[in-house]
Structure 1
Amino acid sequence: TLSLPCSIGISPNKFLSKMASDMKKPLGITIITQRNLKEVLWPIKVGDMYGIGKKTAPKLEEVGIKTIADIANYDNYQIIRQFLGKNTLIYYNRANGRDLSPVVYEDTDMKSIGHSTTFESDISDEDSLKEEFKKVCLTVAERASKHDMYSNCVVITLKYTRFKSVTRQMLVQEYMNDYEKIYSYVMMLFNKHYTHEPLRLIGVTLNNVKRKEAIIEQMNIFDAKNEAVDPIDSLIENINKMTSAHLIKAKDYRINGKS
């Protein structure tokens, strides 16, 4: 384990959780609810309220706004408004435990997925290097699959010495995250750019990673038969079938003398 300290804040909304997480650093858990709000939150100095700047806090203190309880008191609203302007209502609500701002979670901030390995001793044997690349590619593929990310840009890093390293990339026509394809493109880059000198480190990275739903690929005409049938095309086809059926039926009537 890394034994990293962590403080946790638990509450009904984002603002209170932020305030709670700062109360017992570096290691602790703080819970703020509507029941203990006045006891836990209100005694805090105005300068320690999340969002109140270092320049604004002294000005508020000069006019008697010294704690969060003072901001929560509506009698002080107009005084506070002189310093916080249009944001006064936001801070008034927060001081009273109300915050409707959503938790913004972006898990698509990831721009690349990569892995590298440093050898205990430099390697120059190509077969051994290819085996090491297989391990690195497998790790990259597993990470990409875990996060459901795809890439159309493969990058390799070849580090020969502390001062000499080479990075090369390849743009491909498909987005992929499976091991076999990643490894095949990596080998293309390796075979083209490796100088047969001993290597200290190798690395593989997928750049320009995207989720499947964010990928817009040009349709291959040879794959068109696998695409869903266009509703208009389907309608025209049904009309043609019905017309053909009526013509055949009419022809049968004439042949049988029933026209």
Structure 2
Amino acid sequence: MYKKDPIQLARSMQEDVFTQLKLPCSIGIAPNKFLAKMASDMKKPNGITVLRKRDIAEKLWPLPINEMHGIGRRTVDKWRNLHISTIGDLANAENELLLKKFGERGLELKKRANGEDDRPVNPHAYSEYKSIGHSTTLRADTRNKQIIMSTLQELANRVHKRLRKKDVFARGVQLTIRYFDWKLVTKSRKLESPIQEQEDLFLEAITLLEKGWSGESVRLLGISTYDLIEKKYAYKQLDLFTYKEEIKKDDINEMVQQLKERFGEDIIQKGWKKEETE
């Protein structure tokens, strides 16, 4: 396997993912983790991008600072206020300024902007979950919105359970729609606050459905979450008011989960009632 040309290997991986999960995936090929991650975002949803260090000035530096992995949404304005609006601006920023405003983290991000990242790849690390999702093929092609909504609710619940089991939150949600003619459409959205609950996942899926569904008959639906972080870090990304709200909400969700585990899934119900006929 490892004797294959990198591009051939990437294509083989894409084919395997599509065959087993019916989902597209973009792949980045680069000399380190950061550049590979940036490359993987350049040709979504099903492209292959090679990003070499000699190409970063042309391909990486023109990108806006908010597209750089490691730059949080809440800090974008701070970077722009320092006249650092692109990844190239960061790559050429003065060390003293970065150290004063962002500490050692600022210097580390500058190294990455220059293509330097010596972090090892560890596929077995707990924190390295890249995505969690579920998809399902409907029993019949359908345009029935109630069936579609009910299916999304079921998928959101399954994804929620896996996120909860892994004790991680998602900062991005993707919806996959396959139509009766096998045409595939994906819509995704990065979130300002990480989520895990079924209701939040369902609402995000509905938002993406409204943007991505053409009204044609649907054969397959899928919900995937990405940019995952552990629960203890998820709370740190919320502002003070949201933090308190989420703590209360999590206490309630914990109680609901305990009731379901003790008395069964049907003890508490809310949402769409599924109709099997159109």
TM-score bin, normalised by smaller chain:
0.3 to 0.5
TM normalised by structure 2 equals: 0.41
Structure with greater helix share of residues: 2
